[in-house]
C-alpha cells in the first residue's frame, strides 16, 4: 500500500535495527485520512468471508480496526490489557507478552461479545513476534468462533511473527512489510515483483 509506505518513510523514525516509531500517524497522533484508506484496504483483502466481528487489542489496534469494522458495518471488539472493575468474570482470557513494554499482560474479552456464531477478522497495528496475535487467536478459539484471517498495518518481516501465525494455519495480510531497519533505513519487502 503505497500511501502507507510513504507515511512510514517520511513520518516514521527508526529507533534501532528492530524498532520503528510510528506515533506521528498510527499509534499516538492518528492520521484519520490514512486510517480510512487502511480500513478499505483490509476489507478488499478479506472480501467474501461474511465477517461478523473485528477483534483487536487496546490501544494501538483500535484506530485501524475501527475503520475496517465500520466499512464492513460490523462491531469492533477490543481485548483489554487490564481487567476492568466492571468485568469480573464471564471472560475469555489469555497471556500476552508485550514486545515494547517487556511485560506480560492478561488480556480479557467479555463472553458477551464473541460466540461460536461469529466469523472473526483479527487486526492489529504492528506484527513483530506475533505474541499479541497469538493471544487474540487463543481468545477466538475459546469462543468457538471461526477465524477468517489476521491483518496488520505494519509487519516487521525480519521477525518471526508471520512464520508462527502461518505455521499455525492462519492467513496473514500485512499492508506494509518491512524487510529491514538496518542503518536507520526502512526497506520494504514487496510481495509482487513485476
Ligand atoms: P508482537 O506481539 O507481534 O510480538 O508485537 C506486536 C506489538 O508490539 C504491536 O502491537 C506493537 O504495539 C508493539 N511493537 C512491536 N514492534 C514494534 C515497533 O517496532 N514499533 C512500535 N511502535 N511498536 C511495536
Task: List, for residues 39-87, the tens digit of each pLDDT value.
Answer: 999 999 999 999 999 999 999 999 999 999 999 999 999 999 987 666 6
Residue 175 is assigned to a structural domain of this protein: yes
Q: In ligand 1, which atom is closest to the CA atom of 61?
A: 10
Residue 194 is assigned to a structural domain of this protein: no
Residue 49 is assigned to a structural domain of this protein: yes
Residue 83 is assigned to a structural domain of this protein: yes
Question: What is the model's pLDDT at position 119?
Answer: 98
Q: Report the number of distinct structural domains present in the chain.
A: 1
Whether residue 129 has its Cβ less than 6 Å from ligand 1: yes
Output the pTM of the full model: 0.96
> Average pLDDT in the 140-151 region?
98
Task: List, for residues 5-27, the tens digit of each pLDDT value.
Answer: 999 999 999 999 999 999 999 99
> Average pLDDT in the 103-128 region?
96
Which bin fits 50, alpha (ψ -120 to 50), beta or left (φ > 0)? left
Q: Is the ipTM of this complex over 0.85?
A: yes
Find the domain containing 89 and state its range.
Answer: 2-188
Whole-number Å distance, alpha carbon 186 to ligand 1 midpoint, is 16
Binding residues for xanthine: 27, 156
Question: Given a cut of 80, is residue 181 above it in pLDDT?
Answer: yes
Q: In ligand 1, which atom is closest to the CA atom of 127?
A: 3
Q: What are the distances in angstroms from CA 84 to CA 79, 106, 107, 108?
A: 11, 12, 11, 9
Whole-number Å distance, alpha carbon 99 to ligand 1 midpoint, is 6
Residue 95 is assigned to a structural domain of this protein: yes
The CATH number given to whatever domain includes residue 66 is: 3.40.50.2020
Residue 193 is assigned to a structural domain of this protein: no
Whether residue 119 has its Cβ less than 6 Å from ligand 1: no
Residue 26 is assigned to a structural domain of this protein: yes
Amino acid at each position: 500500500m503505497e500511501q502507507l509506505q510513504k507515511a512510514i518513510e517520511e513520518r516514521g523514525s527508526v529507533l534501532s535495527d528492530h524498532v520503528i516509531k510510528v506515533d506521528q500517524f498510527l499509534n499516538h497522533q492518528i492520521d484519520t485520512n490514512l486510517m480510512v484508506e487502511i480500513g478499505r484496504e483490509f476489507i478488499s483483502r478479506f472480501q467474501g468471508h461474511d465477517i461478523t466481528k473485528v477483534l483487536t487489542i487496546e490501544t494501538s489496534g483500535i484506530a485501524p480496526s475501527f475503520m475496517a469494522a465500520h466499512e464492513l458495518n460490523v462491531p469492533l471488539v477490543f481485548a483489554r490489557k487490564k481487567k476492568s472493575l466492571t468485568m469480573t468474570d464471564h471472560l475469555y482470557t489469555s497471556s500476552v507478552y508485550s514486545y515494547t513494554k517487556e511485560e506480560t499482560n492478561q488480556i480479557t474479552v467479555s463472553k458477551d461479545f464473541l460466540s461460536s456464531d461469529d466469523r472473526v477478522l483479527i487486526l492489529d497495528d504492528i506484527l513483530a513476534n506475533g505474541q499479541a496475535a497469538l493471544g487474540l487467536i487463543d481468545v477466538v478459539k475459546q469462543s468457538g468462533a471461526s477465524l477468517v484471517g489476521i491483518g496488520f498495518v505494519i509487519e516487521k518481516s525480519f521477525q518471526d511473527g508471520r512464520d508462527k501465525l502461518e505455521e499455525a494455519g492462519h492467513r496473514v495480510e500485512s499492508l506494509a512489510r518491512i524487510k529491514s531497519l538496518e542503518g536507520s533505513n526502512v526497506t520494504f519487502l514487496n510481495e509482487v515483483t513485476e
